[in-house]
Structure 1
Amino acid sequence: MEETMYDKLLQLPLFQGICKNDFTTILEKVKLHFHKYTPNTSIVKQGTTCKQLIFILSGSVQSESADSRHSYTIEETFTEPHVIEPYSLFGMHTSYTASYKALTEVTALIIDKSYVVAQLNNYEIFRLNYLNILSNRAQTIYNKLWNAHIGNTRNKIINFLLLRCASQTGPKTLYIKMEVLAELIDDTRINVSKVLNEFQQQGLAELSRKKIIIPELKPLAEEYENSFTLHSLTKE
């Protein structure tokens, strides 16, 4: 395996901290599947069973998560290195929560669940990395849920996005009716429209019919975090 491929694999969250000797041993025992995807090719579909770990080694991937009950969809973009839904491999609900497709030429490494359990799980660093990923996700979602309907309309809209996006950085596209968003955050349509137009004026969003484009979520995520940090300090 080329040195650059080694380096990319070791950058992945699940493999960070594993020395190259151990990693060489892992590669000798674990059956690896390398797959190339052309632009607009489907990688996995939302709702299908997760039976493998998919590591994006090169290229960009778009996820699309649809909520059929409330009629909205969120799109996100991820770049390498990235692991697709490692949290969906175990638990009561082992289905992908989103669909993923290649935006550019994509190279992916695929490892079946059986090898994760039988071989990778034997390495303490891998187990700790996996536990950290699952724990961080659970803690983050808990905090978002706790503050779901707290604060002004602006904070509630930001939290709606943060709660439903896998990453707090990068571009996001939300397909939703204004009245549906207002209902889901327990607010009025007028307030939601006013705040979204403020976002647009500030360069934080682009609005069109039933579509909200967030060029970069990070500024909104930082604003949300700072608002509650400031609130906690003033209470003290």
Structure 2
Amino acid sequence: MVADIFYTLLSFPLFIGMGRRELENIVTKTKFSFHTLHEGDTIVDTDTRSGMMVMLTDGTAVATTFSDDKGYRVEEEINGPMLVQPEYVFGLAQHFSQLWKAKTVCHLITLDKQEILKLSDNSLIFRLNLLNLLSTQVQKRQALFWHAPLHTDEEFLRRFFLVHSIRPAGRKVVHIKISRLEKELNIDRRRLSAVLRQWEQQGLVEWTRGCLIIPALEKIINNSLTPSKPIVLHPTQ
């Protein structure tokens, strides 16, 4: 049992670099909670109190992020191992900001804040890993505001999907009306529709009323590296 937990914990960045003896000592002295969830079960919700570390060890979950006014939302499939909003262990926010549900059978390990603080006191490696994890998230978020200016409608739309995703890859379902997307990007509806139609023809998106399905976001990102056909606006668009 200890050996199973040992290899499971090593799949998370918080425990990388630990020797077997230190990790076994942590396993025997730390109060880990283990959970099994089935399809449709809620992992965390926006009314779930934070202040704990939630580790999705295996299985597939669907994470949903909402705009402040609930005017649109983004669903994405996340495979374990994955930490669920680790930035919410500390800070002023009292609840998670996303909804996570199990799509398949999922196994979780949770640690409450007191156990995390104890681990940080007793393990230098864990403390450094935790600081590196949180610092990296802050640095990536700050870097978004200093990217080179965007020039094309495709670039604006691609950036919108990127900054509203947990991971820059995988399947995404964006529930948003075209009128709201037009306001978010400040792009004329005809031009926006032209980009989406071109991407649809390339198999990059599936566009239905109030919903954009992205089978693989990485393909949209990689598409920016190859020349695309010029977008032609027709009078009827």
The TM-score normalised by the length of structure 2 is: 0.88
Superposed CA deviations along residues 83-130 of structure 1, whole A, max 9, x for unmatched, are: 101111112324312100100011101111110012244322222222
Aligned partners of 1:33 and 1:65: how far apart in 2? 26
| Residue in structure 2 matched with residue 136 of structure 1 by the alignment | 136
Corresponding residue for 1:12? 12
Cα distance between partner residues in 1 of 2:224 and 2:98: 25
Matches within 5 A, 1:89-128: 89-128=89-128
CA spacing shift, 1:51–1:25, aligned 2, 3 Å: same
Q: Which amino acid aligns with 2:141?
A: I
Contact 1:45-1:100 at 8 Å conserved across structures: yes
Q: Which amino acid aligns with 1:210?
A: G
Q: Distance in 2 between matches of 1:148 and 1:185?
A: 16
Q: Would you say the 8 A contact 2:5–2:27 is kept in 1?
A: no
- 1:54 deviation in Å? 0.9
Tell me, in whole angstroms, the C-alpha distance in 2 between the residues paired with 1:2 and 1:226: 49
**8 A contact 1:87–1:134 mirrored in 2:** yes
Provide the identity percentage.
27
Deviation at 1:51, TM superposition (A): 2.0
Paired residues for 1:145-164 under 5 Å:
145-147=145-147, 150-164=150-164
User: In the TM superposition, what is the alpha-carbon distance from 1:70 to its structure 2 partner?
Assistant: 5.8
- Report what 2:182 is aligned to: 182
How many residue pairs match? The answer is 227
Q: Distance in 2 between matches of 1:134 and 1:2?
A: 28
CA contact (8 A) 1:148 1:159 kept: no
Report the CA distance shift for 1:91/1:60 in structure 2 as closer, same or farther (over 3 A): same
Q: Deviations over 1:168-196 (max 9, x none)?
A: 11111100011111111121111111111
Quick check: 1:62 aligned with 2:62? Answer: yes
Q: In the alignment, residue 66 of structure 2 is paired with which amino acid?
A: A
Displacement after TM superposition at 1:37 (Å)? 0.3
Would the aligned equivalents of 2:56 and 2:106 in 1 still touch at CA under 8 Å? yes
Corresponding residue for 1:232? none
Letter in 2 for 1:86: P
Q: Which amino acid in the other structure matches residue 97 of structure 1?
A: S
Q: Which residue of 1 aligns with 2:53?
A: 53
Aligned twin of 2:213: 213
Structure-2 change in CA distance of 1:148 and 1:109 (3 Å): farther
Letter in 2 for 1:90: F
Q: CA-to-partner distance for each residue in 1:53-78, whole Å, 9 max, x for gaps?
A: 11111211110111152600100111
Structure 1 unaligned residues grouped into runs of 5+:
228-236
**Shift in CA distance, 69/149, structure 1 to aligned 2, threshold 3 Å:** farther
Aligned partner of residue 136 in structure 1, secondary structure: helix
> Which residue type is aligned with residue 189 of structure 1?
R
Q: 1: CA distance between counterparts of 2:138 and 2:59?
A: 28
Q: 1:192-231, aligned counterparts within 5 Å?
A: 192-223=192-223
Q: Quickly say closer, same or farther: Cα 1:3–1:26, change in 2 above 3 A.
A: closer
1: CA distance between counterparts of 2:171 and 2:148? Answer: 21
Q: What residue is the counterpart of 2:233 in the other structure?
A: none
Larger radius of gyration: 2
Secondary structure of 1:119 counterpart: helix
Q: Which amino acid aligns with 2:85?
A: E
Q: Contact (CA 8 Å) 2:2, 2:24: kept in 1 or not?
A: no
Distance 1:5 1:28 in 2: 10
CA–CA distance in structure 2, aligned partners of residues 222 and 135 of structure 1: 27
